Amino acid sequence: MMSLLTSCAEPKKFKNEKGESFTAEPFGWANEKSQKLDTVVYQISVGNIAWSIILSETVFVPIILTGWYFYEPVRLKTVSESPQETDYMFVIIGFIIIFVFYGGIWQRNN
């Protein structure tokens, strides 16, 4: 059961310009303001989207995986890259897919 709560998104260690090490943690829509670092490039965790769809009947697993582990750190931003806002379109599309899938299963069972 505990393996269902593990995330595919992993923290990643980086070194800044001063040579100091720091760890960038994954984040989602629930903790973006506290976890997202402007100096790090993030990508969507495809594994967490897949687990969210597969385990959509549980409802809480997709909420946990997209709320706290949707984006994973990839690399440091270069000087030419500017900080950008999170693209919430992927989050919205993910929830639509989850709820359509979940609704379809629920309707078949009733």
In order of 31, 53, 55, 66, 106, the CA distances from 59 in angstroms are: 19, 10, 7, 11, 12
Residue 38, token pair as written in the block: 């402007």
Task: Kindly list the domain boundaries of the chain, sorted by start residue.
Answer: 2-109
pLDDT tens string, the chain, 110 residues long: the values are: 444 455 678 889 998 888 889 999 999 889 988 999 888 999 888 888 888 888 888 888 888 888 898 899 999 887 766 555 556 666 677 777 777 766 655 555 55
Closest C-alpha to 26, from 86, 81, 72, 74: 72
Burial of residue 19 (CB within 10 Å: 0-12, 13-18, 19+) is exposed
Q: What is the pTM of this model?
A: 0.66
